[in-house]
Structure 1
């Protein structure tokens, strides 16, 4: 029998730039749910946008669209089951003591998208760490909802490495959207957590070449270790000209955008060949304006979006377990829960960290 305390430490979101560590009650799982002791939780760029009160996350009256106040943040995590009932154990195939993760979205399983198997686009969905009904993982304990998608995690993976399964699954979904072929030249914009995952995922498909773009040398070196055949520093070199030089003037076959920077959009449209494929994963903080005639009249491009990591979690866990990714270098910072503010600041600075994790 696992002894469960009555109180725990948790980060509470009280509004933009007002997150506080507090002692709260350990949650009690309901029917079909599981109580999980959090082993690690990553800090995502979307966590940072929410923290700063980005318009996409917060309404004018502080009643946000995605992140509600008085909620515990954290949507990329891994933990150990400490309590669950028979229904949860049977549904997920897990037991007390198992290391588990849950997909960040909790679907309703009743809307048009869920009924068509497109659960990651569920209309009335919940998200861990953004809504009060599904508190997140910046706490010592959390509850996995009865409607959640739960995956077992190899125990030999260090907790902070295992928590990387969430951004890695997202990156791999973007790669799947591109439908890569062996002859493709693939360009990945951005060598942060998502971009590095895109590089590793694209490389596993064995295209002709994977090219990484970034302006930070340290990240470009990591991109090479994740499988990039070529890493271009966009602060020193014209990426569009270089890619065209490598492709007899035609341009790349596929462009995967993982930065959320407005300049990355025209960059991608310009370096793609005619009939090329553009996949957008980045989340932008402001509107982006481009010449849409490039997409239509000039090149007849396929422009695709990618959201979350549906059906990619088992493959992402397998990739992590394989040791193919330099996780000791990707997970640059592991901090105690009490240092959550330092973690947010590290993610915000960009240059000092790749992936920052909290260890409750």
Structure 2
């Protein structure tokens, strides 16, 4: 396919200047590169936080800037191969692909021992001028990108869930769910629902989902939750204690990003339980840490990105084992990126919002 010299793109020039560019230079294909024609790109909470100027991206008096403008946002993308560099093997023009968010350096201690998702330079699509993301008509996938083939027949709305569901899978894997476990997932947004549909495959004794929005709880029930509770209507800690003879849940996965969910989880988890923190927080969380050590001896685990998860997720979205119905609830043209970002805040009760080309 013929690639034009310019393309439509959203470009971040600074924390305060995001601009739609109708004639931005199309990426050039080097000998080791793949250029894809973007079909669509999901809008992530990280994209929103970056656009709002969060210090974890742009830096402040306590931390340096991480991003390198100008850059094109977006890491939840899928597209069709439009051009292939002369040194590239194993891929053909016209194939459909997605890529891990991170492009590992291959040289640091984490890359060399197999933990590529914790790569020290931490170059992620959509935050660096040399690694532009999917909110543009074309994306360059460099040599070290971790690329995965996607069935052409997969509906685009399903393809757009590959990246978030891969993150969900890694989080649930960290929890090491067993068949006798009472599992609580706090938060039923896109990522929480990805956790629900995957956690159900682990066959826990009970899968319980918490959220403040009843329509999200309905979707969680559809996706496999045994019980759904709204903490604004039910004392969820009391209910867990009733269900477990006063011991508490075995696993608590925190996927809301709200401090109250952390405190709630520490209250309802049993001694020797497994607490997995997934979210990015907008404010500090205050907690009596003696709960973790002296009182309960908990395993407290983090979860970051989606290592080695894409192949499973692609296969099981394709075969309908992982449920996706209704998750991509709204899509926009790149020209309407401001409306897309506004909807992605969840204020209109959307799950996943996408930009499509």
Q: 2:131 aligns with which of 125, 130, 134?
A: 134
Q: Who is 1:274 aligned against?
A: 271
Distance of 1:149 and 1:15 partners within structure 2: 28
CA deviation vs aligned residue, 1:75-123 (integer Å, no higher than 9, x gap): 11100001112432x2xx2211000001000000000000001000000
TM-score w.r.t. the length of structure 1 is 0.95
Structure 1 residues 12-91: aligned runs within 5 Å: 12-22=11-21, 23-60=23-60, 65-88=65-88, 90=89
Displacement of 1:351 after TM fit?
A: 4.2
Where does residue 7 of structure 2 map in the other structure?
Answer: 8
Deviates more, 1:321-330 or 1:207-216: 321-330
Given that 1:47 and 1:73 are in contact with CA atoms closer than 8 Å, whether structure 2 keeps it comes out as yes
Give 1:37 deviation, angstroms: 0.2
Give 1:147 deviation, angstroms.
0.4
User: Which residue of the other structure, out of 347, 355, 359, is the alignment partner of 2:356?
Assistant: 359
The within-5 A match list for 1:1-360 is: 2-22=1-21, 23-60=23-60, 65-88=65-88, 90=89, 93-360=90-357
- Aligned-residue Cα RMSD (Å) equals 1.4
Q: For 1:121 and 1:350, locate their aligned partners in 2 and report how far apart those are by CA, in whole Å.
A: 32
Which stretches of structure 1, 4 residues or more, deviate above 6 A after TM superposition? none
Q: Is the 8 A contact 1:160 1:334 kept in 2?
A: no
Quote the offset at 1:251 in angstroms: 0.7
Deviation per residue, 1:2-42 (Å, 9 max, x gap): 11111100001122353111021111121211000001100
Q: Secondary structure at the match of 1:126?
A: coil
2:255 and 2:347 map into 1 onto residues whose CA distance is 14
